[in-house]
Structure 1
Amino acid sequence: MHKKYLFSLSAFMLTLLITLGLASAASSPGGSQEILSLTSHWVGYIGIVVFVVAYAFVMMEEVTHMRKSKPVMLAAGIIWGMIGLIYAMNGITGVAEVAIRHNILEYAELFLFLLVAMTFINAMEERLVFETLRVKLVNAGFGFRKLFWITGLLAFFISPIADNLTTALLMCAVVMAIGKENNKFILLACINIVVAANAGGAFSPFGDITTLMVWQKGIVQFQEFLVLFIPSVVNWLVPAAIMHFAVPNLQPEASTEQIELKRGALIIIGLFLWTIATAVSFHNFLHLPPMVGMMAGLSLLKIFGYYLNKTHKQNAATYDPQKAEERIGQIVPFDVFTKVARAEWDTLLFFYGIILCVGGLGFMGYLGLVSQFMYLDLGPTTANILVGVLSAIVDNIPVMFAVLTMMPDMSHGQWLLVTLTAGVGGSMLSIGSAAGVALMGQARGKYTFFGHLKWAPAIALGYAASIWVHFLVNGKLI
């Protein structure tokens, strides 16, 4: 169990040690009188060590059971505290404050956007939207091989809207309900779901945090993500086709479980789609942050929640007690603030820590050195492919935020390439994406790190094929 974390930590530390070595070898640039280069300063060295230690705790979350937001939030405070100290000692005021406020603004836009999306997902979950889909799939009586393809296909097409993590958890619940004790099927189906969910999330701003950050930054417009559709399909289909022959050719028993949507479920789905359209319109046509459209959509959900509260039936005795659990949405009032409270706060605060940590190291000068090495010395194509590989080890969020902070000068096709590689690269290891980590917990003992690692060559082949197809299909943009 601990070997996978030692592997990830070793690779992560090697990456940062290379960066630190570059920093130590580099001469301090003259630069502006107000912007200090701290790459060869004790503050810079301590900042790197603090971030490495904090991220080590993040990667060992499953072992330590300490939420991932705690170490990175502390690391962010230490890094920016040291920056503030050294600037104050040099009599430079205001520069560090402007820099950290810029990072906080970026976080605030991401935070509000994700908070609304999570609230809608929680509302749909409470209205039994996802549970109803799960039951219908379980009741259909599909064989293992057919279910392998159906869950993968649904994961691929649901994740662009509902995000890859939520989609993976939903499909895993279906697989667990039907697979039961067939561990081989559950393992293969979970690997397929992780790859499909990550691939589906790569061609939509709503499918992954990395694509959302690229879209909010204004680098890639909403409709332009669609050119990544074919490379994303290839990324999923190649390993899925290879794994297909290993899936047991068995027919499990169909379930007779019954469930109904709660009142207002379909309207909430419609409001969610309307909210997405509003966010896209605000960003594309009004040139406003998409979170403004998302917050406007949240207000509609709150107003509809008010309507549900005013019209819900007070007398629970009129309902069949056996149906009480299914129909509780008509007995207990709908409260939108409970859906806000159930947002993934640990994840939201983790983003705060990561954005400020990476922003702080960038302000010290490290990201400039990394950008010089990766995008000028290695070249953008090699660098962007490497980003995807690092995403499998370190997680794509800090890697992509680092790229966006560096803002290398490269073509539109190269920005699409790094969007693709950061989105799908994490599929190569089970710990490389939120979907993989979540499924290891949901299917504990059945979907494992080493079980996923066995099929890593097939997934890597899909990764390479998707990059080749991107150059083939979108070559004119490179």
Structure 2
Amino acid sequence: MWLHYAVIGLALLALLGVVLEEVIHINKAKITLFLGALAWILLFVSNHGGPENQETIIHGLESNIAEIASLWLFLLAAMTFVAYLNKKGMIENLIYLFLPKQVSERKLLFLTGLFCFIFSSLADNITATLVSVTLILSLRMDTAKTLRFAALLVFAVNSGGVALITGDVTTLMIFLQDKVEILDLLMLSMPSFVAVMFMATILSLGLSGEVTVQQHRAEVRSVDIIIACVFLSTIVGTIILNVAYQIPPVLTFLFGLSIMFLVARFFNDDIENDPILEYIRSIEFEALLFFLGILLLVGALKEINVLESLLSMYSLASPLVANYLMGLLSACIDNVPLTAALLKSGITMTKAEWLGLTYAVGVGGSLLIIGSAAGIVAMSKIPGLTFGKYARYGLALLGAYSVGYAGVYLLANYVI
């Protein structure tokens, strides 16, 4: 029993370390990685169930590592694409094509929400966040306004990604278990978009200034256009190949990354002063290490059956209420193992209720800055964006999440 309390205590310490990062001056990736590895060491050391129980723990760790490795490799491929396109000015050109030269702050906020929502529907959440952060930082606004835009960014990215299997891992998991259909998922984009606009409306209150967008278009080379096309083709190919042949997204993205390397070599762009493989070193490894620590901790919690105890919520409340609460919970607990636990529990729900859960676990993580990959990346990239400062927008985020969830319920029960 002491082991359960110890592992739960380590998880709480990790959460506290993230919240108080600016006070204790210890990087959140270092804290979570240390505590995540320690949790699994305690599981092995405290084993008194003999070789059979030891095998169970080994199998649990291997499954946890395999899940983490798949996520890491997927993110590594996607973030390398983004690092290259960003360095070559392709993303900057896209942003300036999207934005007018002179625009009011209110209109700019709505345009930012629209851009984040649409882009995250095409790309994974990490990629969409990186591109959107580049957009926000290029505006060079003061810190208070930048944080307001950042809050909308996180919510819009998570909302846009929930409607496509390439946009959110939990959406893909629920789809692969045949709980929802691809066309039903696409319908989620309607209430999700309404929720984003609701959030933008709240955040736009008090904005009255004008923003001049300084446009500096970079030279576009043919090789950069081809690699951008490879990136977009990889995204589309991920959807098609997964639906048609159940090919894991990580494999498709690694294949696309290899094509990127070969294209650079074919065009003699892989030179000594700018080797294509060097762009792997440009990605945000701090965020990846943070994911590693968090997922190790969540895997340890799953091993001691803490996550399974959450399923009792469905015996105490209706799926409508329980799914809503699961969305709130996903802001504290990684939504991947949470969704996996729900899928493995044998819970019976209607298609409408599964769609509600898809929205809840995909968007609910927006309520806390550490509740989603988008929030973690944004926090690591935007100066001044901390756990506490993001929490100031908690009521607005909760309201927008509730509006979207209500829209999904109405749409799923009375339209689909």
Shorter-normalised TM range: 0.7 to 0.9
Distance 1:400 1:332 in 2: 40
The one-letter code of the counterpart of 2:62 is R
TM-score (norm 1): 0.75
Tell me whether 1:300 sits opposite 2:259 in the alignment.
yes
Residue aligning to 1:471: 409
Distance 1:299 1:205 in 2: 22
Higher relative contact order, structure no. (Cα contacts within 8 Å, ≥ 6 residues apart): 2
**Aligned pair partner of 2:320 in 381, 395, 401:** 381
Report Cα offsets for 1:17-76 as digits up to 9, x if no partner: xxxxxxxxxxxxxxxxxxxxxxxx222221211222133223333444434333333333
Q: Is the 8 A contact 2:188 2:408 kept in 1?
A: yes
1:227 and 1:81, CA in 2 relative to 1: closer, same or farther beyond 3 A? Answer: same
**Aligned pair partner of 1:413 in 352, 363, 367:** 352
Displacement, 1:473? Answer: 0.9
1:150 and 1:378, CA in 2 relative to 1: closer, same or farther beyond 3 A? Answer: same
Give 5+ residue unaligned stretches, structure 1: 1-40, 313-328
Q: Is the 8 A contact 2:8 2:301 kept in 1?
A: yes
Distance 1:103 1:455 in 2: 33
Tell me whether 1:42 sits opposite 2:9 in the alignment.
no
Displacement, 1:108? Answer: 2.5
Residue aligning to 1:284: 243
The one-letter code of the counterpart of 1:124 is L
The one-letter code of the counterpart of 1:473 is L
Report Cα offsets for 1:89-147 as digits up to 9, x if no partner: 53434222222222222222222222211121112112211122344456622222322
**Aligned pair partner of 2:106 in 145, 151, 159:** 145
1:429 and 1:105, CA in 2 relative to 1: closer, same or farther beyond 3 A? Answer: closer
Residue aligning to 2:71: 110
Q: In structure 2, the residue corresponding to 1:285 is in which secondary structure?
A: helix
Distance 2:341 2:76 in 1: 23
Residue aligning to 2:340: 404
Q: Is the 8 A contact 2:99 2:213 kept in 1?
A: yes
Report Cα offsets for 1:401-435 as digits up to 9, x if no partner: 23313433142433332231233224345554454
Displacement, 1:344? Answer: 2.6
Give 5+ residue unaligned stretches, structure 2: none
Residue aligning to 1:94: 55
The one-letter code of the counterpart of 1:266 is I
Q: Is the 8 A contact 1:162 1:206 kept in 2?
A: yes
Tell me whether 1:239 sits opposite 2:199 in the alignment.
yes
CA RMSD of aligned residues (A): 3.3
Distance 1:83 1:451 in 2: 36
Distance 1:348 1:429 in 2: 18
Distance 1:118 1:413 in 2: 34
Tell me whether 1:198 sits opposite 2:158 in the alignment.
yes
The one-letter code of the counterpart of 2:399 is L
TM-score (norm 2): 0.85
Displacement, 1:179? Answer: 5.8
Displacement, 1:176? Answer: 4.9
Q: In structure 2, the residue corresponding to 1:205 is in which secondary structure?
A: coil
Q: In structure 2, the residue corresponding to 1:142 is in which secondary structure?
A: strand
Residue aligning to 1:344: 284
1:431 and 1:80, CA in 2 relative to 1: closer, same or farther beyond 3 A? Answer: closer
Report Cα offsets for 1:366-425 as digits up to 9, x if no partner: 2222222x2222343222211222344x2x6x2442331343314243333223123322
1:350 and 1:194, CA in 2 relative to 1: closer, same or farther beyond 3 A? Answer: closer
Displacement, 1:268? Answer: 1.2
1:212 and 1:335, CA in 2 relative to 1: closer, same or farther beyond 3 A? Answer: farther
**Aligned pair partner of 1:70 in 30, 48, 71:** 30
Displacement, 1:223? Answer: 5.1
Displacement, 1:230? Answer: 1.0
Identity of aligned residues (%): 29
Q: Is the 8 A contact 1:55 1:71 kept in 2?
A: no
